[in-house]
Structure 1
Amino acid sequence: MRAICLTLPTNRPSAPMVTAIYAEAAYAARHFPVEVHVLVLDSAAPDARAEHAAALAAVRPTPGVVTHHLDEDAQRDFLRAAIARAGLPKPELMLDLMLPADVSYGACTNRAFLIATSLGCSSVHRRDSDSSYQELAGEPVYPVHHELTSLGERARDAAPRVDATDLDAAHLDKPVVLVGASFVGELSVDISEIRQLDEDVYRDVVGLWAPADWSAQQKRELADESFTGAGTAPFTGDHALLTLVDPMRLDMCNISFQQVHERVPLPPATNTIGSDYFLMHLVHDAALPGVLHNRHIVNFYTTERRTDAGFTAYQLRFTKFFLSMLYLNAVYAAMAEAGPALLDDVHQVRAERVSELVWDSTRLPVTENEERLDVLERSYLRLGGRYATFAQSLAPRRQQLLDEARHDMEDFARLIDAWRPLVRASQATRIHPLDR
C-alpha cells in the first residue's frame, strides 16, 4: 500500500478547511488502496492553531488516515535536522529559504514536499485554507478522486481511466507526474476592484506579467484570461483529460505531484504571489504527462484582505509577482526551448539543467522591471484613493524591490542545487507530529 500526503499550509484561522481536508483524506482511504497522511503546516496565531488542533481532535478516526499538525517550531526542528544531515554549506541560509520570516507560497509547499518524503509518501496533494469543495447532490466533490486514479501511472496505463486524451504517442511510456484542476468563484488574485474602477487600467496592470516583447493585443488577451480559473459554473459531472497540461488551467489550491517535486523545489521568494507555480511550467515544458480534471475548488477571500493593512500587504505581493516575471518568463522560454533535454533517459527531470537556466536569468538587465514599476505607479495614481497611496510608497523602495527580485531568483537557484541532498536527508529525518 502506498502512502500519500494531503497537505494544507495555513497562516490564518481555517478550522472548517482543516475538517474538510480530513474528510477528503477519509474518502481517499475508503476508495483507494492508500495510506493518507494529512499534513497541516500551521503558521497561524496561537488561538487559530488551537482551533485547528481541536478540529483535528474532533474528527471521527478513519482507518488508513494519519494526521500531522506541525506548528513552525516543529517544522523548524525538522528542517534543522534535515539540513544538518544533508551536510549543506550555509545551513542558516538554507533554513531561512525553507522557513522565512515573511510569507512565502513556495517555501510552505517546499516544506510539505520534504516532510512528505520523511513520511514515506510518494505523492503530495495540496489544498489551500481559503478554499472549499464543490458539491453534487449534497456531497462534496473531492479532487483526490482523479489524482489517485492516474497519478504515478504510465500514461498508456492511465489512458483507459480518463475520459479523453490528446497525448502524442511519444509520451505514452512516461509517468503521469501531475494531476490537477482549477477553481471557481472569486478571482485567484484580489484585483476585481481594479477592474470595476477602470477596465483599461486593469488590463494595463495585469498585462505586466507578460513577456515584454508581447504585442498589446497579446497582453490584452492575457489580462482577460488571467486569474479567472474555471469561471463560476457549478460542477455537474466528471471529465478528465490526459494531456500535457497547460499551466493556465491549473491552480495550486487543487494540484498533486509525483516524482517531479523530489527533483526540483519551488521558488522560495517572500511576499510574492505566484511563486509556487513553477513546477506546473516545468512539467509542461519537459513534456511530462498530466491529467486535467474538472473537480474545481471553490475560491474565496478572507476578511483580512479587506483591511488597509491587508490591502497594502497584498499589493506588495502583487508588485513583486510582476517583478519576478522578468526572470521566470525567461526561464519558462528557455525550458520550452530545451524541451526533452530537461529529462534524463528514465524521464526524470534533470535538475542541474533547470538550475543553469535559473542562474542564467539572474544576469538579465533590470530595464524591463523598471518599466513595470513605471506602469504600475502611473496606473495606481490614476485609480486614486488607497491605490495612489500605495503607488506613492513604491517610489522610495524601487531599488530595493528591483534587487529583491533578482536575489529571489539567486536563492531559488541555490535551493535547486541543494534540493537532492535535502530530499535524501529528509528520507532519514523523523518528524514529531500530533499523530492519530
Structure 2
Amino acid sequence: MRSICLTLPTNRHCPDTIAALGEEAAHAVAHFDIDVHLLVLDSCPPPERAAHAEALRRLPAHPRITPHHLDEAAQRDFLTRVTARSTTAKPALLLDLMLPDGLSYGACTNRAFLIAAALGCESVHRRDSDSRYQSLAGRTVFPVHHELLSLGRRAADALPGVTESALPDALLGRRVAMVGGSFVGEPSVDIGRIRDADPETYHDVVSLWAPEHWSQARKRELVEESFLGAGTEPFTADHSLLTVVDPMRVDMCNIAFHGDTVCERVPLPPARDTIGSDYFLIHLVHDARLPGVLHNRHIVNYHTGERRTDHGFLAYQTRFAKFLLSMRYFHFVYDRMAEAGDTLLDEHGRARPSAVAALARESTGLDTGENLRRLDALDRAYRRLGGRYADFADLLAGRRERLIDEARADIADFALLTEAWEGLVAAARTTPLPGPPERHR
C-alpha cells in the first residue's frame, strides 16, 4: 500500500485548518487504498503549538492516518541527523539552509520533502494555514481527490481519471509529476491596497517582476493576471485537465508532487524572507514537459490581520521586494530550462538535479544593474503612495546593497542545496522521526 504525506507548514495559529486537514486525510483513506502521514511543521510559539497539538489529538483515529506534529526543535534534531548521515560537504551550512533563522517558504517545504522521504511516502501534498477548502451543497471539495487519481501514474493510465486531456501523445508514457489547482478569494500577494489607492502605481510595482527587456504590452498582460489565481467564482462542478501545466494556473497552497520524479530530485530555493521562493518546481515540471493535472478544486485564500500591523507590513513588503530582486536570477534559469526541455530529465523521466544546479550557478554571474533599477523604480512608486509605503521606501534605501547581495547569495545557496539534495534524501530515508502524538480515544 502506498503512503502519501499531506503536509501543513505553519507559523500562525490555525487549529481550524488542522481540523480541516484531518478531514481531507479521512476523505483520502475513505476513497483510496493508501496510508496518509498527516504532517504539521510548526514554527509557532508554545501557546499556538499547544492548540495545534490539541487539534491533532482530537482528530478521529484511523488505522491508515498517522499524524506527525514537529516543532522546530524536533525538525532541527531530524535535520541534524540527516545532514550528518549524508555524504555531502558543509553539513552546518546545509542545516542552516534547511532550517534558517527566519522565514523561508522554500525551506519549510523542503523539510516536508525530506520528512516524507523518511516516512516512505511516494508524494507530498501541500496546503497553507491562511486558506480553507470550498464546499458545494454542504460537501467539502478536497483537492487530494484529484491528486490521488493521477499523481505518479503514467499519463496514459491517468486519462480515465480526468475530464479532458491536452497532453501531446509523445508525453503519454511519462509519469504525472504534479497535480494542482489554484485559489479563489484574495490575491496571493497582499498588495491589493496599492491597486485600490493608485492603479497606475500598482501597474508600475507589479510589472517589476517581469524581465526588464519585455515590451510594455507584455508587462501589462502580466500585471493583469498576476496574483489573482482563479478569480472569485465559487466551485460548481469538477473539471480536470491532463496537460503540461502553465505555472500561472496553480498555487503552492494547492499542490502535490510525485517524489521520485520531482521533489526527491530537486529542492525548492531556500531564500529567506522572499515570497515566491517556493514556486520553482512548478516551473521545472512545466519546462521539462512533465505531465501534470490542473483541476478546479481551488482553495480559498485570505490574508491574516498580522500583515496589517506596522511590523507585519514592513516584513511583508520586504519579502515582496526580495521577490522582485530574485526574479533577476529566476527568469534567467526559467528561460534556460525552457530551452533545455527534455534534457532536464534523465533516462527514467526524472528531473536531473545537476542540470538545474548548473543553471542556478551560472545565473550568479549576472550583472546586478537590473536589480538596482528595480529598487529605484520601487522607491519612486512607494514614495508616490506616501504613508507607510514611503516609510518602507526609507527602510529600503538603507538596505539597497545588502538586498542586492542577498539576492545573488540566495541563488548560489540554491545551487549548493540542489547539488547536495540527492544525498540528503538518501540519508533521510534511513533517519527515524519522533513518534506520533498521543491520541484521544
* TM-score over 0.5 for the pair: yes
Matched residue, 2:381: 379
1:216 aligns with 2:204: no
* 8 A contact 2:130–2:303 mirrored in 1: yes
1:188 aligns with 2:182: no
Matched residue, 1:31: 31
Matched residue, 1:84: 84
Distance in 1, matches of 2:45 and 2:140, equals: 29
* 8 A contact 2:43–2:71 mirrored in 1: yes
Letter in 2 for 1:151: L
Deviations 1:175-210, CA, capped at 9 Å, x for gaps: 001000000000000000000110011011001111
Letter in 2 for 1:214: W
Matched residue, 2:124: 124
Matched residue, 1:162: 162
* 8 A contact 1:25–1:38 mirrored in 2: yes
Residue 217 of structure 1 deviates from its aligned partner by: 1.1
Deviations 1:59-118, CA, capped at 9 Å, x for gaps: 111231000000000000000001000032221111100000100000000000000000
* 8 A contact 1:5–1:39 mirrored in 2: yes
Percent identity over the alignment?
Answer: 61
SS at match of 1:336: helix
| Range with greater deviation from structure 2 (284-293 or 390-399) | 390-399
Matched residue, 1:204: 204
Letter in 2 for 1:183: F
* 8 A contact 1:11–1:44 mirrored in 2: yes
Matched residue, 1:402: 404
Where has structure 1 moved over 4 Å in runs of 4 or more?
none
SS at match of 1:125: strand
Letter in 2 for 1:152: G
Residue 434 of structure 1 deviates from its aligned partner by: 2.7
Distance in 2, matches of 1:147 and 1:233, equals: 22
Residue 212 of structure 1 deviates from its aligned partner by: 1.0
1:291 aligns with 2:309: no
Distance in 2, matches of 1:210 and 1:170, equals: 32
Distance in 2, matches of 1:99 and 1:344, equals: 29
Distance in 2, matches of 1:310 and 1:41, equals: 21
* 8 A contact 2:180–2:251 mirrored in 1: yes
Runs of 5+ unmatched residues, structure 2: none
Letter in 2 for 1:22: G
Letter in 2 for 1:385: G
> What is the Cα-based RMSD across aligned positions, in Å?
0.7
Residue 347 of structure 1 deviates from its aligned partner by: 0.5
SS at match of 2:115: helix
Runs of 5+ unmatched residues, structure 1: none
1:332 aligns with 2:337: no
Distance in 2, matches of 1:69 and 1:36, equals: 14
* 8 A contact 1:355–1:413 mirrored in 2: yes
Distance in 1, matches of 2:355 and 2:297, equals: 34
| Range with greater deviation from structure 2 (1-10 or 390-399) | 390-399
Residue 433 of structure 1 deviates from its aligned partner by: 3.7
1:68 aligns with 2:84: no
Matched residue, 1:341: 343
* 8 A contact 2:66–2:436 mirrored in 1: no
Matched residue, 1:307: 309
Residue 348 of structure 1 deviates from its aligned partner by: 1.0
Distance in 1, matches of 2:87 and 2:115, equals: 18
Distance in 1, matches of 2:340 and 2:66, equals: 41
Deviations 1:211-269, CA, capped at 9 Å, x for gaps: 11101111111011000000010100000000000000010000000020000000000
Letter in 2 for 1:197: A
* 8 A contact 1:85–1:425 mirrored in 2: yes
SS at match of 2:102: coil
Q: TM-score w.r.t. structure 2 length?
A: 0.98
SS at match of 1:121: coil
The counterpart of 1:318, out of the listed 314, 317, 320, is: 320
* 8 A contact 1:70–1:433 mirrored in 2: no
Matched residue, 1:363: 365
| Range with greater deviation from structure 2 (382-391 or 88-97) | 88-97
